[in-house]
Structure 1
């Protein structure tokens, strides 16, 4: 049986693009299971796509082929690569979208330049997901080796956009918001294995004007938070998140993906 194929794009579901990719895959890899990771990545948002990929990979079968198409450089001279993480393979544009996966699964990544193989495929200038990524992924899922499709690349040559990492300071940490989910929870770039204090604060000047929710309490679940209180929770995606109990932290705090904030250890917060 062919390998599982997982799709991650910024295409949305209003247009025929996802369906066309699945049609190509069904034609060329008829025995493969095709699973959607998400098609709701914000258009052109490489950092959000990188987060979705890194968060999803370990929950798929070990031999899954991921097609990751968040590709603002489509049609240009940007490379197409195949990144191996153990027996998992990611087919992606070389634009930094594998950066968080590289951090999370460090030491295992091997990268093949698929650009020459891609150049031999007749394609439109604007839809490489359907015309190039899907056929290559289908071939790999059906047994074609990456070695037969192109040369290995030195890891130093891979594009890295500098997706922010936490900046640790003696009295706190500067974090970046990677994602806002549909509940308004704000996923930070702080891995959930990092120890965090029980109480922190966000400087008021970094919050929505007039907001008084600067105190942050580390909790283990949403229900531990009182109404309107901000919590820091080790979420389900491998990173800490700012959250409210039955509320939207993004609206309460006035913060969005891409924003940076400081969590200070010198928290001037009331003690229970």
Structure 2
């Protein structure tokens, strides 16, 4: 049974997600449709790219990942289908697939333009229903990506903020905020381990939002309720959290805010 995941900014209040599922099931009743997330902030391509990056590998080989976070819907922007050795990705060409380029060997990219795989009438405002859903369903029935349209040599990239290293530490920034208010940074476990090997100092000082944190927790339970902490989250990124609270609200920070780590 073919797996199709849906990652959108449609939320749960309206019928958009349900209608997409209805279109898929109408074309392939055997398709298994999984809601990856529908609470991406509206038009937030960076958050969608992050969620895709930390999620897609947990699905079985052959999964079709559909991403509809599409501020350019109805414009001349392309829709692309990207093929790797294990997965297919169907998304607007707006940079949301940047993590896949970074982590996977891309076998094929095509522009999705063959209208016989669309619904008969295509809205300029709801192409999740009229293009993405039917195309995903046809792919799940065995249609080859090459049948969807012409090959393209590249697709758009997002500017992903790099981690900046210095002699005694590094500077990163907040790249995603989850529903608990955890501030997820672009600093990985590997970044910290690599730096620790080069620096003799054993202490650590993390400065963020005018506050200082002096250690990296292994669990939330190591801190008291209401205490600010740093922890390596389940996606292997450094997070700034508030035990049983909301770090975003307390610190008043948003995506793009900097943090500095110094080993001393």
Whether these two folds match at TM > 0.5 is yes
The answer as to 2:189 corresponding to 1:192 is yes
- Counterpart CA distance in 2 for 1:42 and 1:153 is 29
Is the 1:115–1:150 contact (alpha carbons within 8 Å) kept by the matching residues of 2?
yes
Is the 1:79–1:113 contact (alpha carbons within 8 Å) kept by the matching residues of 2?
no
Is the 1:186–1:241 contact (alpha carbons within 8 Å) kept by the matching residues of 2?
yes
Query: Tell me, which stretches of 5 or more residues in structure 1 are unaligned?
Result: 268-272
Task: Give the alignment's Cα RMSD to 1 decimal.
Answer: 2.1
Q: Which residue of 2 aligns with 1:172?
A: 169
Secondary structure of the residue aligned to 2:215 is strand
Match of 1:237 among 235, 256, 260: 235
Q: Which residue of 2 aligns with 1:151?
A: 150
Is the 1:172–1:262 contact (alpha carbons within 8 Å) kept by the matching residues of 2?
no
Secondary structure of the residue aligned to 2:54 is helix
190-199 or 214-223, which moves further after superposition? 190-199
Instruction: Indicate how the Cα distance of structure 1 residues 172 and 67 shifts in structure 2: closer, same or farther if over 3 A, else same.
Output: same
Instruction: Indicate how the Cα distance of structure 1 residues 42 and 50 shifts in structure 2: closer, same or farther if over 3 A, else same.
Output: same
Q: Which residue of 2 aligns with 1:94?
A: 93
- Counterpart CA distance in 2 for 1:37 and 1:16 is 17
Query: Tell me, which stretches of 5 or more residues in structure 2 are unaligned?
Result: 197-202
Secondary structure of the residue aligned to 2:192 is coil
Instruction: Indicate how the Cα distance of structure 1 residues 42 and 119 shifts in structure 2: closer, same or farther if over 3 A, else same.
Output: farther
Instruction: Indicate how the Cα distance of structure 1 residues 67 and 184 shifts in structure 2: closer, same or farther if over 3 A, else same.
Output: same
- Counterpart CA distance in 2 for 1:170 and 1:124 is 54
Task: Give the drift of 1:266.
Answer: 5.2
Q: Which residue of 1 aligns with 2:19?
A: 20
Secondary structure of the residue aligned to 1:132 is helix
Is the 1:188–1:241 contact (alpha carbons within 8 Å) kept by the matching residues of 2?
yes
Is the 2:95–2:157 contact (alpha carbons within 8 Å) kept by the matching residues of 1?
yes
The answer as to 2:77 corresponding to 1:83 is no
- Counterpart CA distance in 1 for 2:75 and 2:117 is 15
Secondary structure of the residue aligned to 2:143 is coil
The answer as to 2:42 corresponding to 1:43 is yes
Task: Give the drift of 1:194.
Answer: 2.6
Q: Deviations over 1:175-224 (max 9, x none)?
A: 22222222211111223333255622216xxx2xxx5x322421211111
Q: Deviations over 1:131-183 (max 9, x none)?
A: 001111111111001122233332xx310121222222333323222222222
The answer as to 2:140 corresponding to 1:141 is yes
- Counterpart CA distance in 1 for 2:170 and 2:184 is 15
TM-score of the two chains, using structure 1 as the length reference? 0.86
* Matched residues, number: 254
- Counterpart CA distance in 2 for 1:171 and 1:117 is 54
TM-score of the two chains, using structure 2 as the length reference? 0.88
- Counterpart CA distance in 2 for 1:251 and 1:171 is 30
- Counterpart CA distance in 2 for 1:238 and 1:102 is 19
